[in-house]
Structure 1
Amino acid sequence: MPIVSRRSVLIAGLGGVAALAGAGAAYGLVEADVLPGRYRLAPYLGKCGEMPPLPKVAPGAVEQAEFRSPAGGTARVVLGYPAAVTKGLPVVVMLHGSDGDARTPFDTYGVQYHLADAVRRGAPPFAVAAIDDWADAEWRPSPVITRNLLPFLRDHGLSTTRIGLLGWSIGGRGALLLASAVGPGRVAAVAAASPALSEADVTALGRTLGGVPASLTCGRDDAFAPPTRDLLARLRAAHRADVTGGIHPGCHDAAFRRRMLPDQVVFLGRHLSRV
């Protein structure tokens, strides 16, 4: 049986300590974004948080409808209301993420519950509307929103003189781009959670979005936190409209976005009431 010297044991022990120290240093670099991997590690480190429960309130009415699309087919729209009143309300158009559809705001985020709860607590009422396939091939807002969806909503008895916009992930980016393109004359307010922004988006929106009240939120452990923080700073520096939101604990997931939804519903209702 080979004899292990005290010196070799000491060297092995020091090697183990060095390995642990190296691992700790590497983790610190990941957390500081010097090394990649922070956002992939976050769920395993318990940084994302649980999906919050829905408000304990009777949800508003939800209905599904269709209209003729420019391509000649039909486009699905899902509408939500805060209570029995379904006519004459201002409306918020909601843009789903890349793996969602018109049902996602209702089935995943429970917007009908949050809307009913906000109105119960005294927020001004409004309707919400989501549409399938709102984006073009480059994930920019399609003309179908302004050319077809808004006239459909007006014919459905909703007020579309000035609208609100709400989006999640790539839909958050879409909501911000659409608000910028249409402008404050038509958009009363825009809200985006976890917006999938590029540096080019931030530069452009920082110049063009300043006149529209905006609520921007992103998880601290979300790869889109830096551009969201940058855009918030630019919009606040412009001093042209109400800007709220920030970077909060959480990840790029539905749990974070549902946590942000109550405040964003109140924000949108407040500005829509001034229409």
Structure 2
Amino acid sequence: MSIISRRSVLITGIGGIAALAGAGTAYGLVQADVLPGRYRLAPYLGKCGTMPPLPKAAPGSVEQVRFSASGGTARVVIGYPVGVTKNLPVVVMLHGSDGDARTPFDVYGVQYFLADAVRRGATPFAVAAIDDWADARWRPSPVLTRDLLPFLRDHGLSTTRIGVLGWSIGGRGALLLASALGAGRVAAVAAASPALTRSDDAALPPALAGIPASLTCGRDDPFAAPTRDLLARLRAAGRAEATGGIHAGCHDAAFRRRMLPDQVAFLARHLSRA
């Protein structure tokens, strides 16, 4: 019995060590993206970070308007710097797949970041977000150029050259919209956590020629690799400023809010030259 017991203990011990070693190997393979699950594990490993606080700046007004669009009406939410609502350049903001026109203001607090940037000397601009900006394939709908931009112009904003900002699938949409309008209409484009495809990395650089771009993505975001590749291609082309990078974080609102101060400053800087 003693021999069997010692043997059993020895075998059990070896099995436990092997299991631990196997777990460590599996964890390494997950982190290297050889095995799936890295992005699901990231929040539990503390890699995503928390939602940062809003700047301590009194925001300007936020206006919600319905306007005529082909086939009916559409809702736009417009945020302004403190004390100014007319003759401002405008940034068109594209929400993610689970958002709407209010998300940039209610979740991300973009009006606070705008107020803080202007307080620090940035060029004032307005921000405008619209519901249902995408078509069935999550590409920019004609409603943006056919209806929204003319409405914003008639509403007293300058749309000669605009900025574009988006997050997640809206980040990809922002890059597609900028590429469709070209450098003559777009002063700068910023995208955080853009839901890019591998084909985008090849198609977007020539289409974005001449447009300053800011691309940021979390290190533990499934879109980190295509974002890194697109940014590298834009920098290699050297046609316009290409800034941003891959930072600690995940595919979530906390990461995108952390990116907002730099994105707002980047857009303001280029809109000042529009």
Whole-Å separation in 1 of the counterparts to 2:189 and 2:147: 20
The one-letter amino acid paired with 1:165 is: V
Aligned-residue offset at 1:5: 2.0
The one-letter amino acid paired with 1:53 is: P
Aligned partner of residue 58 in structure 1, secondary structure: coil
Whole-Å separation in 2 of the counterparts to 1:4 and 1:217: 60
Whole-Å separation in 2 of the counterparts to 1:2 and 1:108: 66
The one-letter amino acid paired with 1:168 is: W
1:78-131, Cα deviation, whole Å (9 max, x unpaired): 000111111000000000000000000000100000000000011111000000
Q: Give the match for residue 40 of structure 2.
A: 40
Aligned-residue offset at 1:59: 1.1
| Counterpart contact for 2:183–2:209, Cα < 8 Å | no
Q: Give the match for residue 151 of structure 1.
A: 150
The reply to whether residue 87 of structure 1 matches residue 78 of structure 2 is no
| Counterpart contact for 2:101–2:129, Cα < 8 Å | yes
Whole-Å separation in 2 of the counterparts to 1:174 and 1:56: 30
- Range with bigger deviation, 78-87 or 2-11: 2-11
1:143-189, Cα deviation, whole Å (9 max, x unpaired): 11111101100111000000000000000000000101110000000
The one-letter amino acid paired with 1:222 is: D
Whole-Å separation in 1 of the counterparts to 2:101 and 2:177: 18
Whole-Å separation in 2 of the counterparts to 1:117 and 1:4: 73
Matching of residues 230-249 of structure 1 within 5 Å: 230-249=229-248
Whole-Å separation in 2 of the counterparts to 1:151 and 1:124: 23
Q: Give the match for residue 170 of structure 2.
A: 171
**CA RMSD between the two structures:** 1.1
Whole-Å separation in 2 of the counterparts to 1:44 and 1:200: 32
- Alignment gaps of 5+ in structure 1: none
Aligned partner of residue 58 in structure 2, secondary structure: coil
Matching of residues 189-204 of structure 1 within 5 Å: 189-204=188-203
Whole-Å separation in 2 of the counterparts to 1:228 and 1:210: 17
Q: Give the match for residue 26 of structure 2.
A: 26
Aligned-residue offset at 1:7: 1.8
Aligned partner of residue 159 in structure 2, secondary structure: strand
Matching of residues 1-275 of structure 1 within 5 Å: 4-71=4-71, 73-275=72-274
TM-score by length of 1: 0.98
Aligned partner of residue 5 in structure 1, secondary structure: helix
Change in CA separation of 1:124 and 1:61 when aligned onto 2, cut-off 3 Å: same
Aligned-residue offset at 1:206: 2.1
The one-letter amino acid paired with 1:175 is: A
Aligned partner of residue 230 in structure 2, secondary structure: helix
Whole-Å separation in 1 of the counterparts to 2:97 and 2:265: 25
Same amino acid, percent of matched pairs: 82
Aligned-residue offset at 1:271: 0.1
| Counterpart contact for 2:162–2:185, Cα < 8 Å | yes
TM-score by length of 2: 0.98
Q: Which runs of 4+ in 1 moved over 6 A?
A: none
Whole-Å separation in 2 of the counterparts to 1:251 and 1:167: 16
